[in-house]
Amino acid sequence: MDLVWSKAIKIKVHSIIWNNTLIKIDMKREIFLMIVLGFSQITTGQKKEIPHLEKLNGTVQLIVNNEPFTMLSGELHNSSTGSEHYMQPIWNRMAEKKLNTVIAPISWELIEPEEGKFDFSIVDSAVEGARKEGLKLVLIWFGSWKNGKSTYIPGWVKTDTKRFPLVKDKERGTMAILSTLGVNSLKSDAKAFSALMQHIKQIDSQEHTVVMIQVQNEIGTLDYRASYGMPNIYMRDFSDVANKKFNGPVPNELIDYLTKNKSKLHPALEKAWGDNGYLKKGNWEELFGPGKQYSGDDWKNNFSYYTEELFMAWHYAKYVGEVAKQGKDEYALPMYVNAWMKQPNGREPGQYPSGGPLPQVFDIWRAAAPSIDFFAPDIYEVEIFDWVSEEFSTSGNPLMIPETKSNPASSARAFYALGKYDAIGYAPFGIDGNGILNTTSPNDESLKTAYASLENILPIISKYRGTEKMTGLFIDSSKEKDEVVMGEYVISLKRNSFAEAQGLLGVDIENKNEKEEEAAGFLIIQLAENEFLVAGGIGSSILTISKSNNDSPTQAGYLSVDEVSYSNGEMRTHRLNGDETAFGGPVVKKGESKIFKMKMYTY
Ligand code: DGJ
């Protein structure tokens, strides 16, 4: 009941519906009624706040309907929301997979097929479908850009390149990418996005099925061919307008930001600006030096064509920041931008989208787009998972992974991402299958298995997020063992090769060298000095807790190991103190995930 005191006092109430029963009221009892109404307001809850981000323990939580919410998610294929009939059966499948949130695209071309004429049937269908299954939604605005290109813009935008100008590469070839400097493009994109947000407000401001918005997708100038040895001519927009801006003054707004935040800037930005004398006036090359190609091995810490990337970041951030701002003016859901990562086979801007929100240009994005709440990495190159997660979970940015591989190793990594990096959301891509790229195998139950364990302990995870009491461990064929010291104990995760070799676990050891088969991940929470809650698995693995100090005269043993499970939300424990821990700790067989409570004692 959302009736507030002031309203209760103003109206003369002669009857009310209470628990579906009509109750006639004697006016003498009016005062009594007001007390009851006021009381019910207190007991039946506060008003559900709009989904928002809140700082807690130095990190960020997503709050949905006044409670912390962690997104156990997956992203649909790009075109899965391309029609109502196609998307209808998807929601039930997603709920069966134990997702609590689906990341789903909404394309500009479908909501505004004719200029100024909006059709939100796709949005309504997505919200209804998700709601029916108890799912939350993150909607991706496929507006001006998706993977750098402008493929989801309406036909009336695509075909009017005068009004909606395109990027030119260095050789003056026209690219199918809207230029960030197209004033009309920004106006039209922002108008459509505002209409979308207004519509979401209309249909969802009570229930909050839509909890967040991704604004555009993997933006930046690039050509896919550039990754494969073609000359890089895509590091920035070389249209006439862009050339003029590049050779014109760096905006004061950016210089002010750099000056104010000088001690906190990304080292590469601080160096580029410092090497050129911390100038407060001048064009992009005068302030940051001419961009050069870097061809050495330390590609993570050196930046090819950095000045071009800074320039593009500024213009993308200005554009996307304005689109997000106008959308938030209608309905202020949390909004983020995702990034295609710099990676071994795409080390230069133009080989990955130039100007997207990568760590080396976070400062530029923060200066230009304060309406964007955070930046999110798409991590397909899992070899750089730790590096990327580190970079995206520092300087106040919460980690959310809206896209990653979809396979058993990735499912195991969900435990690790939540535990080690306090991720607020995790989402393998192509979760609904049937796509061209990164399709989930229909027989792969691993994500469902992982999320089925995680869903039960989300309140505990939220409580420990941002504290040193929660972390994660991960192993695969490149890492035999992972361990962490917590208080007096060292917690180790290993492959259970002994038991496997003995055939004790009944697993197929033929696949031993398959990296994906070998991955296992765990989330570890230290509940008390001598008590741990651990959750994880998928690859065959064993989790051991022992004394961290080898010289200690005493040893640590398991006072008890309990497998934890849930039945209709009720927690149950099952004691395992015999053969089940005989290999050094509880074992998880291939394909499984488990939760254990482990209590320690010293002897
Ligand atoms: C990254 C993009 O952001 C997605 O939209 C999709 O195209 C995937 N790549 C496919 O791997």
How many CB atoms are located within 10 Å of the residue 113 CB?
13
Q: How remote is the CA of residue 338 from the centroid of ligand 1, in Å?
A: 11
| Residue showing tokens 């330390």 | 298
pLDDT at 25 over 50: no
* Band of residue 410 on the pLDDT scale cut at 50, 70, 90: very high
Q: How remote is the CA of residue 147 from the centroid of ligand 1, in Å?
A: 7
Mutation probe of ligand 1 site: the residue of 151, 429, 434 with most atoms within 8 A of C-beta: 429
Predicted confidence (pLDDT) per residue in 162-190, tens digit: 999 999 999 999 999 999 999 999 999 99
Phi-psi region of 330 (alpha: psi -120 to 50; beta: other; left: phi over 0): alpha
pLDDT at 327 over 60: yes
Q: How remote is the CA of residue 381 from the centroid of ligand 1, in Å?
A: 13
The angle subtended at Cα 487 by Cα 484 and Cα 488, nearest 5°, is 95
Least confidently predicted of 22-31, 231-240, 411-420: 22-31
pLDDT at 98 over 80: yes
Q: How far is residue 170 CA from its own chain's centroid? A: 34
* Band of residue 62 on the pLDDT scale cut at 50, 70, 90: very high
pLDDT of residue 18: 36
Least confidently predicted of 26-40, 341-355, 558-572: 26-40
pLDDT of residue 516: 56
pLDDT at 425 over 90: yes
pLDDT at 297 over 90: yes
Are residues 218 and 148 in contact, defined by beta-carbon separation less than 8 angstroms?
Answer: yes
* Band of residue 502 on the pLDDT scale cut at 50, 70, 90: low
Alpha-carbon distance of 254 to 260, in angstroms, equals 10
pLDDT at 378 over 80: yes
Which range, 13-17, 103-107, 437-441, is most confident? 103-107
pLDDT at 58 over 60: yes
Q: How remote is the CA of residue 107 from the centroid of ligand 1, in Å?
A: 14
pLDDT at 537 over 50: yes
Q: Mean pLDDT over residues 238-245, rounded?
A: 98
Q: In percent, how much of the chain has pLDDT > 70?
A: 89
pLDDT of residue 398: 97
Q: How remote is the CA of residue 15 from the centroid of ligand 1, in Å?
A: 56
pLDDT of residue 417: 98
429: which DSSP letter?
A: B
Which structure tokens are listed for 313?
């970041």
pLDDT at 29 over 80: no
Which structure tokens are listed for 49?
């706040």
Q: How remote is the CA of residue 119 from the centroid of ligand 1, in Å?
A: 25
What string of DSSP letters covers 192-241? HHHHHHHHHHHHHTTT--EEEEEEEES-SB--GGGGGTS----SS--SHH
* Band of residue 438 on the pLDDT scale cut at 50, 70, 90: confident
Q: Mean pLDDT over residues 559-573, rounded?
A: 95
Going 123 to 126 to 127 to 129, the CA torsion angle's sign is: positive
Buried b (16+ CB within 10 A) or exposed e, 161-190: eeebbbbbbeeeeebebbbbbbeebbebbb
Between these two residues, 569 and 194, which has the higher pLDDT value? 194
Predicted confidence (pLDDT) per residue in 110-122, tens digit: 999 999 999 999 9
pLDDT of residue 31: 41
Output the average pLDDT for the chain. 90
pLDDT of residue 230: 74
Phi-psi region of 79 (alpha: psi -120 to 50; beta: other; left: phi over 0): alpha
pLDDT of residue 11: 34
Q: Mean pLDDT over residues 333-350, rounded?
A: 96
Which atom of ligand 1 is the closest one to the Cα of 435?
10
pLDDT at 9 over 60: no
Buried b (16+ CB within 10 A) or exposed e, 446-483: bbebbbbbbebbbebbbbbbbeebbbbbbbbbeeeebe
Mutation probe of ligand 1 site: the residue of 140, 438, 440 with most atoms within 8 A of C-beta: 438
* Residue of 422, 431, 482, 493 lying closest to 458 (CA atoms): 422
* Residues in the ligand 1 pocket, defined by CB under 6 Å: 78, 147, 217-218, 378, 403, 429, 437-438
pLDDT at 358 over 50: yes
pTM of the model: 0.91
